[in-house]
A and B are shown apart, each in its own frame.
Chain A
Amino acid sequence: QVRLQESGPGLVKPSETLSLICTVSGASIKSSSHYWGWIRQSPGKGLEWIGTVYTDGRNHYNPSLTSRVTISGDMSKNHFSLNLTSATAADTGVYFCARHSPDFWTGTPGYMDVWGKGTTVIVSS
C-alpha cells in the first residue's frame, strides 16, 4: 500500500522559504511512472494545486506560483520536496502531498490517487 507523509516546520517567518518534505513508502518515486506533487488548502482560497515533479525530473507548476516554487525529488531517500520562497501570510494553510496518475490521453499530471494527511504551516513573525 502506497503511503505519503508530509513533514517540515509548522511555523515560517515572512520573507523566508517554506520547505516541506513528502516521504513515500510502498512505491519508488524513481521507478514509478507517476507525478508527485503538492496541494494546499487555505481558508481564503480552498484547495489550490501547487505543482508536480515527474520521475525524470520534469515539473509542472501553477502559473500563479511558478516564480516562487520548486518541487524536486530525492531518489536516494525516496522523498520529494517543496520549496516556496518569499513566504507571506497568504501561504498559511494545510499542505498535502499527493501522487498524480499521468493522464492517459495527454501524459500530463492527472487525478490524485494517493494523498498524505497534510501538515499545517503558519507564516508569521
Chain B
Amino acid sequence: EIVLTQSPGTLSLSPGDRATLSCRASQHFSSSFLAWYQHKPDQAPRLLIYGTSTRPTGIPDRFSGSGSGTDFTLTISRLEPEDFAMYYCQQYADSPRTFGQGTKVEIK
C-alpha cells in the first residue's frame, strides 16, 4: 500500500501568513490521483484539491496544490481565520486508498 507522510505535524502561523504543507508518498504515482481535505472539529471534512492541483467549485483561490512523483504540496497563500484546521492528503492511485496522518494548522 502507498504510505503518505505529511509534514510538519503542526504548523503554528498567524492570519495573513503563507502555509506550506507537504505530503510525501512511499512510492511514485501519477499526480492525477492526489487530493487534499480540510477538517474542523464536529464538521464534515471538505475537499479542497483533487488531481493534485484542481480546486472544486467554491474553494477559494488562496488554496493551491502542486507536486508530482512522490512529493506533493498544499499552499495557503494568506491564512484566513477560518483556515486554522487539520489538513489531510489522500491518494486514489492504488488500493487501498490511503491518507496522510494530517497537518494541524494552528494559530500562533
Cβ–Cβ contact B95 & A60, under 8 A: yes
Cross-chain pairs A/B with CB under 8 angstroms, 21 sampled:
A4-B44, A46-B101, A49-B99, A60-B95, A62-B97, A64-B96, A96-B45, A101-B50, A103-B33, A104-B32, A108-B95, A110-B33, A110-B35, A111-B92, A112-B35, A112-B45, A112-B47, A113-B50, A115-B45, A115-B46, A117-B44
A26 within 8 Å of B by Cβ? no
* Partner of A63 from B45, B46, B51, B95 at Cβ < 8 Å: B95
Which of chain B's residues has its CB closest to A49's CB?
A: B97
Taking CB atoms, residues of chain A closer than 8 Å to B33 are 103, 110
- Of residues 16 through 30 on chain A, the ones whose CB sits less than 8 Å from some CB of chain B are none
Number of A interface residues, CB 8 Å? 27
Q: Does more than half of chain A's interface fall in helix, strand or loop, or is it mixed?
A: strand
- Of residues 45 through 71 on chain A, the ones whose CB sits less than 8 Å from some CB of chain B are 46-49, 60, 62-64
Taking CB atoms, residues of chain B closer than 8 Å to A47 are 88, 90, 99, 102
Which of chain A's residues has its CB closest to B30's CB?
A: A105
Q: A46-B101, A117-B42, A118-B44 are in contact. Are A63 and B37 (CB under 8 A)?
A: no
- Of residues 39 through 65 on chain B, the ones whose CB sits less than 8 Å from some CB of chain A are 42-47, 50-51, 56
B14 within 8 Å of A by Cβ? no
Interface size class of B (residues with CB under 8 A): 20 to 34
3 smallest beta-carbon distances between A and B, as pairs = A47-B99, A111-B35, A49-B97
Q: Does more than half of chain B's interface fall in helix, strand or loop, or is it mixed?
A: loop
Known: A110-B33, A110-B92, A115-B45. 16 other contacts (CB 8 A): A46-B101, A49-B96, A60-B95, A62-B95, A63-B96, A64-B96, A96-B45, A103-B33, A105-B32, A109-B97, A111-B47, A111-B92, A113-B47, A113-B56, A115-B44, A118-B44
B98 within 8 Å of A by Cβ? yes
Which of chain B's residues has its CB closest to A99's CB?
A: B47
A8 within 8 Å of B by Cβ? no
Interface residues of A (CB under 8 A from B): 4, 39, 46-49, 60, 62-64, 96, 98, 101, 103-105, 108-118
Which of chain A's residues has its CB closest to B90's CB?
A: A111
Taking CB atoms, residues of chain A closer than 8 Å to B100 are 46
- Shortest Cβ distance from A49 into chain B, in angstroms? 4
